[in-house]
Amino acid sequence: MSTGSFGFLGLGIMGTPMAKNLLAKGFSVTVWNRDSAKCASLVEAGAKQASSAAECVEASSITFAMLADPAAASAVVFGPKGVLEAMTAGKSYVDVSTVDDETALKIGEAITAKGGRFLEAPVSGSKGPAEQGQLIFLCAGDETLYSEITPQLDVMGKKSFFLGAVGAGARMKLVVNMTMGSMMGAFCEGMALAEKSGLEQSQLLEVLDLGAMANPMFKLKGPSVMKRAFPPAFPLKHAQKDMRLALALGDQLGQPLPVSATANEAYIRAKGAGHGDSDFAAVYEAVQTKP
Ligand SMILES: NC(=O)C1=CN([C@@H]2O[C@H](COP(=O)(O)OP(=O)(O)OC[C@H]3O[C@@H](n4cnc5c(N)ncnc54)[C@H](OP(=O)(O)O)[C@@H]3O)[C@@H](O)[C@H]2O)C=CC1
Ligand SMILES: O=CCCC(=O)O
């Protein structure tokens, strides 16, 4: 292991391009994924492949993890042949998955109890920004580690924030995604009502894009909604997980979130109807009914 050796756990829609960007800039990267087949394109791009999360941490000074949800992030750290088995003083762990603050704290405490350093760094931005190295990192935890990995964060992203103690990154990420999920729900209702009332959805998109509500998300997802084709960039099951975690945070804090709670119902309905692996714009399927 050299000081410049990086690990990457979790090679899904986001983890794969993030790890590829590190490799493309010449960093030494060892990868692991539960389904080992997903390591192939990374190995082709120059990565070494580990046979377990523990082996990946063993081979790396700093390990990034991009995992589905709190259960996955915890399983990879605390499970058999997991991160903790190889965590020692001198090693660092950067969890870029979207989880709740309780999970981030639990993981952070376990890493530091083994002598390691911990940074949570969930990202804003989706598949395209991950491929283009344009993510936004929402970091909290060990500030020295944050400063040390600035070159790597700069390869994968366009901006990084340091928000303070562990938990603040998760909370910021959940607030952002809750806002986004509600916005997408309202947008899909607008598209459905436009169609039902005899308007052209393409004209609604144009009107929205010229006014105060213009935003990259409506512009990007509008054509998908019109075609009712939802190849996953941000899987709907993860968007619903984020709504659920944000609502739980609101509940803990006594913060009413009626708009987001209602939007969450639409995501639950879309997931139940089999759209969990589609892009989150497929929430349209839960609000659209045939004319
Ligand atoms: N897609 C997006 O636009 C964005 C996603 N995020 C967040 O990033 C994280 C990853 O998202 P994304 O890449 O889209 O998701 P994917 O569903 O594409 O990838 C999920 C990853 O988690 C792994 N995983 C799931 N469960 C387990 C488990 N029990 N044990 C070990 N590994 C597991 C999967 O492994 P396997 O391949 O074996 O199933 C896979 O590597 C999520 O927290 C998501 O909310 C954040 C910003 C944007
Ligand atoms: O967590 C996913 C965020 C998707 C995005 O920011 O576009």
Instruction: For 125-136, write each residue's pLDDT tens digit.
Output: 999 999 999 999
pLDDT at 236 over 50: yes
Tokens coding 159: 């901006």
- For the cut 80, the answer to whether the pLDDT of residue 2 exceeds it is no
Residues marked as catalytic = 173
Q: What is the pLDDT of residue 170?
A: 98
Ligand 2 centre to CA of 147 (Å) is 24
pLDDT at residue 1 greater than cutoff 80: no
In words, the CATH class of domain 5-165 is alpha beta
How far, in Å, is the centroid of ligand 1 from the Cα of 65?
A: 9
Among 209, 220, 229, smallest CA distance to 275 is for 229
How far away, in angstroms, is 203 Cα from ligand 1 center?
35
- Mutating to test ligand 2, I would choose from 180, 183, 240, 241 the residue with most ligand atoms within 8 A of its C-beta, which is 180
Query: In whole angstroms, what is the distance from residue 142 CA to residue 205 CA?
Result: 43
Average pLDDT over residues 262-272: 98
- List every span in the chain annotated with CATH 3.40.50.720: 5-165
Here the ipTM equals 0.99
Please write the tens of the pLDDT for every residue from 38-59: 999 999 999 999 999 999 999 9
Whose tokens are 């509008």? That residue is: 222
Give the mean model confidence (pLDDT) for residues 176-192: 98
- Domain made up of 171-287: CATH architecture: Orthogonal Bundle (1.10)
Alpha helices by DSSP H, listed for the chain, are: 15-24, 40-44, 53-59, 70-78, 83-86, 101-113, 127-132, 143-148, 150-156, 168-196, 201-210, 216-227, 236-253, 258-270, 284-287
pLDDT in the model for residue 3? 56
How many residues make up the chain in this entry?
291
| pLDDT score at 291 | 55
Q: Which helix (H) or strand (E) covers residue 135, if one does?
A: strand 135-141
- pLDDT at residue 174 is higher than 80: yes
For the chain, residues classed under CATH 1.10.1040.10 are 171-287
- Round the average pLDDT of the chain to a whole number and report it: 97
Q: What is the mean pLDDT of residues 15-27?
A: 98
Confidence of residue 4 (pLDDT cuts 50, 70, 90): confident
> pTM score, two decimals?
0.97
The stretch 175-196 carries a mean pLDDT of 98
Ligand nearest to the CA of 11: 1
